[in-house]
């Protein structure tokens, strides 16, 4: 995909040639502004386009000491071995379940938060809640992971402290050793980290609602809830739909950093292994470059297809990305 576009780009320079002067000479004459952009484009070429070209090793058998040109071509061998791999079922199931859960809970949560914040009339209270809930977004996953493991820790964790204190459990629970809890921990942590910051966009959209609409509605006797449902929500719908398309396009991004950080216990692999962490483990740790690239490419292709479908559906409703 990348390669064709690049060639197209260079080939299309030709029609820009005007008969009076050669392209090279005209570019030399504006060397000062060309010098502003060309170094940046070279960096983009090196760090974005060369890796795109490097995806071709998915169709080769990568050998140490060889380069992209001298590796033997093997066609779809690595894709086939992924489709027959014993991990295929676990990895695909985890990817789909985790990303669907993240979407189903993580997508509406900030909208609900924005709607709730909009009902708050005490400005001080509103600002305090916003300041606190935006904070985790700016923390690295390492810090978040440290906080979560501390809260859920067997010996010093406050969660176990409360559970034991209220006699809800007899023994403290070792949350990170029980696979059944992992998805809940992962999704809750994600929502907890991003809910505040993600609500900013929706709050801005809500701020654009015409106040007269609320006045008219309350004169007609509509309750606050009805006003949210009949005025606020329909007004912010276009924003919601655009963000929904973006979310659907990245549905196969079940997570990477968060899972690497939270699922350090290999005993959790049956519930924590997703495509991205699998590619990381196979590629970086086991050095199976060609196979890992093939798995990554498979994911990228499925993502593009899903984004296209989501956009086509959204176009029917009049809100599309392109």
Partner 1 sequence: MIRYSIGDRIMIGCIYLLLTLLAFSTFYPFWNALAISFNAGLDTAKGGITFWPREFTLENYSIVFQDSSLLRGFGVSVARTIVGTVLSILATSIFAYGMTKRELIGHKYYMLMGIITMYFGGGLIPTYMLIRNLGLMNSFWVFIIPGLISVWNMIIFRTFFKGLPVGLEESAKIDGSGNWGIYFRIILPLSGPVIATLALFTAIAHWNDWFVPSIYISDENLLPIQTILRQTLLSNISVTQMSGLDSASLARLEQMKNVTSKSLTMATMMVATLPIIAVYPFVQRFFVKGVLIGSLKE
Write down the least CB distance from residue 51 to partner 1, Å: 2
Query: Does the protein bind partner 1 through residue 135 (CB under 8 A)?
Result: yes
**Torsional sign, CA 261, 267, 273, 277:** positive
Distances (CA, A) of 194 to 64, 85, 93, 140, 191: 41, 34, 24, 12, 5
CA distance 37 to 209: 41
Interface size with partner 1, residues (CB under 8 A): 103
Query: Does the protein bind partner 1 through residue 143 (CB under 8 A)?
Result: yes
CA distance 135 to 125: 16
Query: Judged by CB under 8 A, which of 283, 311, 313, 319 binds partner 1?
Result: 283
Residues 197-226 that bind partner 1 (CB under 8 A): 197, 200-201, 204, 214, 218, 223-225
Query: Does the protein bind partner 1 through residue 315 (CB under 8 A)?
Result: no
The one-character DSSP state at 267 is G
Write down the least CB distance from residue 60 to partner 1, Å: 12
Residues 107-126 that bind partner 1 (CB under 8 A): 113, 116-117, 119-120, 125
CA distance 217 to 230: 9
Residues 144-183 that bind partner 1 (CB under 8 A): 145-151, 153-158, 161, 174, 176-177
- Three-point CA angle 255, 52, 302, nearest 5°: 45
- Binding segment for partner 1 (CB under 8 A), chosen from 69-77, 95-103, 238-246, 310-318, is 238-246
Q: In degrees rounded to 5, what are phi and psi of residue 154?
A: -70, -45
Nearer to partner 1, 37 or 123 (CB): 37
Q: In degrees rounded to 5, what are phi and psi of residue 135?
A: -55, -50
Per DSSP, what are the bridge partners of residue 73? Answer: 60
Residues 71-90 that bind partner 1 (CB under 8 A): none
Write down the least CB distance from residue 82 to partner 1, Å: 14
Write down the least CB distance from residue 293 to partner 1, Å: 5
Write down the least CB distance from residue 285 to partner 1, Å: 10
List of E strands, the chain: none
Nearer to partner 1, 201 or 233 (CB): 201
Query: Does the protein bind partner 1 through residue 136 (CB under 8 A)?
Result: yes
- Binding segment for partner 1 (CB under 8 A), chosen from 71-79, 80-88, 100-108, 273-281, is 273-281
User: Residue 86 in contact with residue 278, Cβ under 8 Å?
Assistant: no
Residue 273, class by beta-carbon neighbours within 10 Å (0-12 exposed, 13-18 middle, 19+ buried)? buried
Residues 34-73 that bind partner 1 (CB under 8 A): 34-37, 39-41, 43-55, 57
User: Residue 306 in contact with residue 241, Cβ under 8 Å?
Assistant: no
How far is CA 10 from its chain centroid?
32
Query: Does the protein bind partner 1 through residue 19 (CB under 8 A)?
Result: no
Query: Judged by CB under 8 A, which of 100, 128, 169, 309 binds partner 1?
Result: 128
Tell the residue number behind the tokens 């409703």, with chain if given.
317
- Binding segment for partner 1 (CB under 8 A), chosen from 83-91, 134-142, 230-238, 312-320, is 134-142
């Amino acid at each position: 995909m990348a390669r064709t576009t690049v060639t197209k780009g260079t080939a299309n320079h030709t029609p820009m040639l005007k008969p009076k002067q050669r392209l090279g000479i005209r570019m030399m004459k504006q060397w000062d502004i060309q010098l502003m952009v060309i170094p940046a484009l070279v960096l983009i070429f090196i760090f974005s386009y060369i890796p795109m070209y490097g995806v071709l090793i998915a169709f080769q058998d990568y050998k140490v000491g060889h380069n992209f040109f001298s590796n033997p071509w093997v066609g779809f061998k690595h894709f086939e071995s992924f489709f027959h791999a014993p991990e295929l079922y676990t990895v695909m199931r985890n990817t789909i379940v985790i990303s669907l859960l993240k979407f189903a809970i993580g997508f509406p949560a900030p909208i609900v938060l924005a709607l709730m914040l909009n009902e708050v009339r005490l400005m001080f209270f509103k600002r305090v809640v916003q300041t606190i809930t935006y904070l985790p977004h700016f923390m690295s996953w390492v810090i978040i992971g440290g906080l979560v493991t501390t809260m859920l820790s067997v010996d010093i964790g406050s969660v176990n402290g409360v559970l034991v204190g209220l006699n809800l459990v007899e023994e403290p629970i070792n949350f990170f050793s029980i696979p059944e809890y992992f998805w809940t921990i992962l999704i809750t942590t994600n929502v907890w980290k991003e809910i505040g910051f993600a609500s900013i966009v929706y709050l801005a959209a809500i701020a654009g609602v015409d106040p007269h609409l609320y006045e008219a509605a309350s004169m007609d006797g509509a309750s606050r809830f009805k006003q949210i449902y009949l005025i606020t929500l329909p007004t912010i719908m276009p924003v919601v739909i655009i963000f929904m398309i973006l979310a659907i396009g990245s549905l196969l991004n079940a997570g990477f950093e968060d899972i690497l950080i939270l699922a350090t216990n290999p005993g959790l692999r049956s519930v924590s292994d997703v495509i991205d962490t699998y590619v990381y483990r196979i590629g970086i740790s086991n050095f199976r470059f060609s196979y890992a690239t093939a798995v990554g490419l498979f994911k990228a292709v499925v993502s593009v297809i899903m984004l296209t479908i989501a956009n086509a559906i959204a176009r029917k409703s009049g809100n599309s990305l392109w």
